[in-house]
Amino acid sequence: MKSPWGIYTVAALSTVYSLLTIVYATRTAGQRWPGVFAALLLIGAIGLFLKRRWARLPIYLFSVAVVPTWVVCTIWFITKAGWPYYTTTLASVLGLLPGVLLCSGCAVACWVVHRHFRPTEPPTTVATRD
């Protein structure tokens, strides 16, 4: 039997991130899209807590929407503003750290969800092994 700890960890972190993002998006004027994507992630987190296979889709969609958007916007901003875009290179690298962590978290979450919900292979027998 598969251990549910990875799924519960992804679900808990997704819930915390999505709730904080929804609160931030509702308090910031004109920032609705982060709240929409965070609601999608929250739906996926609820499905993960319930161990439902359909929870894969919101997690994958969130990751597919957020990671390329962050990469493209960051590259565009750096080419527009120049490097370092803060006063020092260290400050610029530290400024990129939250986005890199978000993208890494999305990749790890997709991997954990995929590993947990992949179909189990039928047991091999002597006849099928040879």
**In-domain check, residue 61:** yes
Return the DSSP state at 31.
Answer: -
**In-domain check, residue 125:** no
Using an 8 Å Cβ cutoff, are 20 and 42 in contact? no
**Structural domains in the chain (count):** 1
In the chain, helix, strand, coil percent, each to 5?
80, 0, 20
**In-domain check, residue 127:** no
**Amino acid letter, 63:** S
- Domain span at residue 72? 5-119
Residue with tokens 């590259």: 75
**In-domain check, residue 130:** no
Sequential pLDDT tens for the chain (130 residues): 467 899 999 999 999 999 999 888 888 877 788 888 999 999 999 999 999 999 999 999 999 999 999 999 999 999 998 888 888 889 889 999 999 999 999 999 999 999 999 877 766 666 665 5
pTM: 0.83
CA distances in angstroms from 53 to 77, 82, 104, 118, listed in the order given: 37, 44, 22, 9
